[in-house]
Amino acid sequence: MANLEPRAQPKSRRDRQIEEVRHDPYLARSKPAEPAWCPSCGLVYHAGRWQRAERPSEPHRHFCPACLRLRDDFPAGIVTLNGDFDTAQREALLGLARRAEASEAAEHPLQRIMAVRVSKAHTVITTTDPHLAQRIGSTISHARGGRLTIDYSDDEYLVRVDWSAATPKD
């Protein structure tokens, strides 16, 4: 006698719930008309991306996402360098951060350091892109050792990177 119970069907990929990917709220929902030119930084939007190029004749004025973040003081990355550094140590760390920025900006001109805020206990670097913040933290950690933590926010387009210098063993 044949089994008349229906067989359980394997779940297909369409049955799985897809989590929404968090996107940068500063990236436009639609592409700007080409050629576009950012009057603040001079980047040109051409061939589907912002890039360093000569200003085209009769461009559309359109602020790039990085300049909008700078205007609103709304970072996508926050790097905190913890420690009471003397001037030379702080300048060396900031030099590493600026070299990481230059390296990234060569290929991705929207990745910039927004601001550097210095206090006795720590130095805070804000960036226009979370990838740059992560790169700065990784660069400093690789060069100086210490403790690095990277925390991606679940509810906003933001990464927090904390670095602490290695403490001498007692």
Q: Residue 18: its pLDDT value, please?
A: 46
Q: Residue 12: its pLDDT value, please?
A: 53
Whether residues 45 and 118 share a domain: the answer is no
Q: Residue 39: its pLDDT value, please?
A: 96
Which 8-state DSSP code applies to residue 151?
Answer: E
pLDDT tens by residue, 50-105: 999 999 999 999 999 999 999 999 999 999 999 888 899 999 999 999 999 999 99
Residues facing 113 on adjacent strands:
127
Domain coverage including residue 128: 73-164
- Kindly report the backbone phi and psi dihedral angles of residue 89, in degrees, each rounded to the nearest multiple of 5, phi listed first: -65, -45
- Dig out the tokens for 55 from the structure: 């200003």
Whether residues 84 and 156 share a domain: the answer is yes
CATH number of residue 151's parent domain: 3.30.70
Q: Within the chain, where are the H helices?
A: 65-72, 87-107, 130-144
Q: How many domains, the chain?
A: 2
Per-residue burial over 82-113, b = 16 or more CB atoms within 10 Å of its CB, e = otherwise = ebebeeeebeebbebbeebbeebbeebbbbbb
Whether residues 51 and 87 share a domain: the answer is no
Q: What is the pTM of this model?
A: 0.82
Helical axes 87-107 vs 130-144, angle rounded to 10° = 130
Residue 19 domain-assigned (yes or no): no
Whether residues 42 and 95 share a domain: the answer is no
